[in-house]
Protein backbone atom coordinates (compact mmCIF):
# COMPACT_ATOMS: atom_id res chain seq x y z
CA UNK A 1 0.00 0.00 0.00
CA UNK A 2 2.82 2.38 0.91
CA UNK A 3 4.59 1.78 -2.47
CA UNK A 4 1.33 2.40 -4.32
CA UNK A 5 0.76 5.69 -2.48
CA UNK A 6 4.37 6.82 -3.16
CA UNK A 7 3.97 5.96 -6.86
CA UNK A 8 0.74 7.95 -7.13
CA UNK A 9 2.35 10.96 -5.44
CA UNK A 10 5.35 10.82 -7.77
CA UNK A 11 3.16 10.53 -10.87
CA UNK A 12 1.11 13.49 -9.68
CA UNK A 13 4.27 15.59 -9.31
CA UNK A 14 5.55 14.96 -12.84
CA UNK A 15 3.11 17.30 -14.65
CA UNK A 16 3.84 20.05 -12.13
CA UNK A 17 7.60 19.78 -12.63
CA UNK A 18 7.21 19.59 -16.42
CA UNK A 19 4.93 22.64 -16.42
CA UNK A 20 7.45 24.64 -14.42
CA UNK A 21 10.31 23.82 -16.77
CA UNK A 22 8.33 24.66 -19.92
CA UNK A 23 7.16 27.94 -18.39
CA UNK A 24 10.78 28.98 -17.81
CA UNK A 25 11.80 28.10 -21.38
CA UNK A 26 8.95 30.07 -22.95
CA UNK A 27 9.71 33.25 -20.99
CA UNK A 28 8.91 36.33 -23.09
CA UNK A 29 12.11 38.17 -24.09
CA UNK A 30 10.17 41.46 -24.00
CA UNK A 31 9.42 41.19 -20.32
CA UNK A 32 11.61 43.96 -18.85
CA UNK A 33 10.24 46.97 -16.97
CA UNK A 34 11.56 50.49 -16.48
CA UNK A 35 9.50 52.42 -13.97
CA UNK A 36 9.94 55.32 -11.64
CA UNK A 37 8.81 58.65 -10.30
CA UNK A 38 9.00 62.18 -11.67
CA UNK A 39 9.38 64.96 -9.10
CA UNK A 40 9.09 68.73 -9.36
CA UNK A 41 12.00 70.95 -8.29
CA UNK A 42 10.47 71.08 -4.80
CA UNK A 43 10.36 67.25 -4.57
CA UNK A 44 6.60 66.85 -5.06
CA UNK A 45 5.17 64.25 -7.47
CA UNK A 46 4.78 65.62 -11.00
CA UNK A 47 1.23 64.78 -12.11
CA UNK A 48 0.75 64.16 -15.87
CA UNK A 49 4.41 64.76 -16.77
CA UNK A 50 5.46 63.35 -20.15
CA UNK A 51 8.14 60.64 -19.94
CA UNK A 52 10.17 59.57 -22.98
CA UNK A 53 12.08 56.31 -23.36
CA UNK A 54 14.62 56.01 -26.18
CA UNK A 55 16.16 52.61 -26.98
CA UNK A 56 19.83 52.83 -27.98
CA UNK A 57 19.34 50.28 -30.79
CA UNK A 58 17.46 52.82 -32.91
CA UNK A 59 14.04 51.35 -32.24
CA UNK A 60 11.17 53.85 -32.09
CA UNK A 61 10.94 55.87 -28.86
CA UNK A 62 8.17 55.25 -26.34
CA UNK A 63 6.19 57.80 -24.37
CA UNK A 64 3.84 57.81 -21.42
CA UNK A 65 2.47 60.16 -18.73
CA UNK A 66 2.83 60.01 -14.98
CA UNK A 67 -0.14 59.35 -12.72
CA UNK A 68 -1.25 61.58 -9.82
CA UNK A 69 1.62 60.22 -7.70
CA UNK A 70 4.22 61.04 -10.36
CA UNK A 71 4.68 57.33 -11.21
CA UNK A 72 5.39 56.01 -14.70
CA UNK A 73 6.01 52.55 -16.15
CA UNK A 74 7.24 51.10 -19.43
CA UNK A 75 6.47 47.36 -19.67
CA UNK A 76 7.30 44.59 -22.12
CA UNK A 77 10.75 45.96 -22.95
CA UNK A 78 13.46 43.82 -24.47
CA UNK A 79 16.95 43.61 -23.05
CA UNK A 80 19.10 46.58 -24.04
CA UNK A 81 20.36 50.07 -23.34
CA UNK A 82 17.86 52.91 -22.86
CA UNK A 83 17.68 56.64 -22.16
CA UNK A 84 14.83 58.25 -20.21
CA UNK A 85 13.76 61.89 -19.79
CA UNK A 86 10.70 63.71 -18.45
CA UNK A 87 9.15 67.10 -19.16
CA UNK A 88 6.22 69.14 -17.97
CA UNK A 89 5.09 72.78 -18.29
CA UNK A 90 8.40 74.39 -19.33
CA UNK A 91 10.42 72.08 -17.10
CA UNK A 92 12.55 69.13 -18.08
CA UNK A 93 14.74 66.51 -16.45
CA UNK A 94 18.24 65.53 -17.45
CA UNK A 95 18.51 62.49 -19.72
CA UNK A 96 19.23 59.35 -17.72
CA UNK A 97 21.62 57.59 -20.09
CA UNK A 98 23.10 54.11 -20.42
CA UNK A 99 20.30 52.38 -18.53
CA UNK A 100 21.17 48.70 -18.96
CA UNK A 101 18.02 46.59 -18.80
CA UNK A 102 18.64 42.86 -18.51
CA UNK A 103 16.25 40.26 -19.89
CA UNK A 104 13.25 40.13 -17.57
CA UNK A 105 14.76 42.88 -15.40
CA UNK A 106 13.05 45.70 -13.56
CA UNK A 107 14.70 49.09 -13.00
CA UNK A 108 13.40 52.00 -10.95
CA UNK A 109 14.38 55.64 -11.55
CA UNK A 110 13.66 59.03 -10.05
CA UNK A 111 13.65 61.97 -12.47
CA UNK A 112 13.62 65.55 -11.21
CA UNK A 113 12.19 68.35 -13.30
CA UNK A 114 14.12 71.61 -13.48
CA UNK A 115 13.50 74.91 -15.18
CA UNK A 116 16.05 75.24 -17.98
CA UNK A 117 18.37 78.20 -17.85
CA UNK A 118 17.75 80.74 -20.59
CA UNK A 119 20.19 80.46 -23.43
CA UNK A 120 22.74 83.22 -23.65
CA UNK A 121 22.73 84.75 -27.12
CA UNK A 122 25.78 86.76 -28.09
CA UNK A 123 25.20 90.49 -28.35
CA UNK A 124 25.91 91.94 -31.83
Domain boundaries, the chain: 32-112
9-40 tens-digit pLDDT: 333 443 333 333 333 333 566 789 999 999 99
Residue 1 DSSP label: -
How far from 49 is each of 1, 57, 101, 105, CA to CA, in Å?
67, 25, 23, 24
Q: Which fold has domain 32-112?
A: Immunoglobulin-like (2.60.40)
Tell if the pTM clears 0.85, that is, is over it.
no
Amino acid sequence: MRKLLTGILLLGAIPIATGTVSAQKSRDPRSGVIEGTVETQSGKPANRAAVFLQPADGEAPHGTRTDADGHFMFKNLKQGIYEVRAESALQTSEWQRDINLKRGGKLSLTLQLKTPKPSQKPQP
